[in-house]
Structure formats: C-alpha cells, structure tokens
Structure 1
Amino acid sequence: MPLQFPDSLEGDDAAALNYFRHWQPTAAPGVVRSYSNPSLALLGWVTARALGQDYSAAMQTRLFPAFGMSRSHVQVPEGSMPNYAWGHRDDRQVRMQRGPMA
C-alpha cells in the first residue's frame, strides 16, 4: 500500500473505502515491504467498528486505558496543549489534520 492516501482523496470514510476497493498492489505479496499509513487507518477503522464505536471513542475509552496511557489523546484537550509535540512545516508549528478513517 502507499505511504499516504492520495492528496485528491477527500477526508471521509466512504471515499477511503472506495479507494481500498480499487487499489492494486505494485508487487506480488511477500516481495516488497513498505510502511503504509492507509493500512493503519484501515486497521483502526475496522477495529473500532468491531468494538461498536468510532475510532476516537475506541482509542479514548478502550485502548488508552487498557495500556495505562492516561496522558494520550486523539483530540488533545486545551489543558494538555502545552505538552503537545508539534510538527513543523515552513518554520511554523502545524498540527496533524483529521484525514480519512480518523
């Protein structure tokens, strides 16, 4: 799978699922290993659906507590923003934006 969803993909689950339905690998299974954010998005989406929750709720109410991750967040609360690790682009702080299946 690709490293990221294509830029042209709009940020909703239906578009992402349609992308996966039509995606074709560029190599035979087991020949090439690569990292893929869309594959992790799909795993999170499927897991949350199996738990009967959306992704954010499943992370906050099931996964983080199970591992004692009391200071981890999907949506960072205002009081935790001073501890947030920002990304940087063009010498400015940027925050990850919600994308497909998030």
Structure 2
Amino acid sequence: MRGGLAAAVGAGLAPPSVLWRAENHYPAIHHPDYNRGLQKLAREALDAAGGRVRDLVDERVVGSCLTTEPERLEWGHRLRLERVVDLALWLDHYRPEITV
C-alpha cells in the first residue's frame, strides 16, 4: 500500500514502513537471515533426492550463489537459489521420470 486511502485504512494495523513504502509488484525480503536460510535450503536441495536437482542445474552458477556472503547476495543470485528450491519441491511432489 502506498499512502492515501490505503494508509488511512491500514493505520494502526500495519507499521508505517509498510503503509508508506514504494509500490513493488514483487516485494522481497532484504534481510541477510533470509539469504542465509535460502542458501541452506538450496544446499539441502542439491544434496537430496538422489542428486536429481544437481543433474538439472548448472553447479558453476549455483555454486557462486552458495558461497557468496549472505549480506552480499544479489537479487539475481537469490532468484537462482529460489528456483533450485522450487525445482526440488516440484520434483519431490510430482516425481517425474527424467532422463539426462
């Protein structure tokens, strides 16, 4: 929400930092703890499922995302790690037959 009526309606329900922040079609968390947790989940995804995820991603690209300090992890790196986690969840849920 950004100012105006939305801020008036949300007064007392959300902090001012939320009510008055710039609009963003895809809000993201910019906290190093999120990045740290995301890196952990991506490592687990690469190590699990019999290597299925590892077979489908470019480890050179993902590897640099995993070794970057969480405080310095860029938006694009986060997206790559989120896709690794998404892929692992998708493979676990649907269990498709994939031959590489």
- TM-score between both structures, scaled by the size of structure 2: 0.27
Which one has the largest radius of gyration? 2
Q: Which has the higher strand share?
A: 1
The answer to which structure, 1 or 2, has the higher relative contact order (CA under 8 A, 6+ apart) is 1
